[in-house]
Amino acid sequence: MSNHLPMSSSNKSIAVLPFVNMSADPENEYFSDGITEEIINALTTVKGLKVIARTSSFAFKNKNIDVRTIGGQLGVSTVLEGSVRKFKKRVRITAQLISTNDGTHFWSKNFDRNLEDIFALQDEISLLIADQIRENFGHLNIQEHLIEAPTQNMEAYNLYLKGRYQHLMWDGPGIANAVELYEQCVAIDPSFALPYFGLAYCYAMSGSWGNNKGLLQMSEEKLSKGFKLDKQSYVGNFSKATLSFWGQWDFIKGQKYFLKAIEFNPSYTEAEEGLCELYTAVGYFEKAHWHTDNILKINPLSPNHYFTKANIHYLNEDYTKALECIETSLSINPGFTHPIALKQLCLILTKDYEKLNDFLDKTPLAERPEECRVLYKLVNPDDKIDVDISRVSSM
Q: For 202-216, what is each residue's pLDDT tens digit? A: 999 999 988 899 999
Q: Is the pLDDT of residue 125 over 90?
A: yes
Tell me how far apart the alpha carbons of residues 296 and 53 are, in angstroms, rounded to a whole number. Answer: 9
* pLDDT for position 385: 87
* pLDDT for position 318: 98
Amino acid at 14: I
Q: Is the pLDDT of residue 138 over 80?
A: no
Integer CA distances (angstroms), 70 to 20, 56, 77, 79, 301, in order: 17, 10, 10, 8, 11
* pLDDT for position 196: 99
* pLDDT for position 392: 58
Confidence of residue 136 (pLDDT cuts 50, 70, 90): confident
* pLDDT for position 211: 83
Strand partners, 98: 79, 105
* pLDDT for position 254: 98
Q: Is the pLDDT of residue 117 over 60?
A: yes
* pLDDT for position 139: 67
**Among 147, 211, 149, 203, CA closest to 180:** 203
Confidence of residue 6 (pLDDT cuts 50, 70, 90): very low
- Give the distance, in angstroms, between the CA of residue 131 and the centroid of all CA atoms in the same chain: 26
* pLDDT for position 140: 77
Confidence of residue 17 (pLDDT cuts 50, 70, 90): very high
Strand partners, 158: none
Mean pLDDT of 167-183: 95
DSSP letter string over 244-311?
A: IIIIT--HHHHHHHHHHHHHH-TT-HHHHHHHHHHHHHTT-HHHHHHHHHHHHHH-TT-HHHHHHHHH
Please give the domain boundaries of the chain with CATH numbers for all domains: 9-137 (3.40.50.10610), 150-265 (1.25.40.10), 270-395 (1.25.40.10)
Confidence of residue 137 (pLDDT cuts 50, 70, 90): confident
Q: Is the pLDDT of residue 36 over 80?
A: yes
* pLDDT for position 2: 41
Bridging pattern class, strands 78-87 and 20-21 = parallel
Q: Is the pLDDT of residue 175 over 50?
A: yes
Run of H or E residues at 32 = helix 29-43
Q: What is the three-class DSSP state of 96? A: strand
Confidence of residue 143 (pLDDT cuts 50, 70, 90): confident
Q: Is the pLDDT of residue 241 over 60?
A: yes
Confidence of residue 3 (pLDDT cuts 50, 70, 90): very low
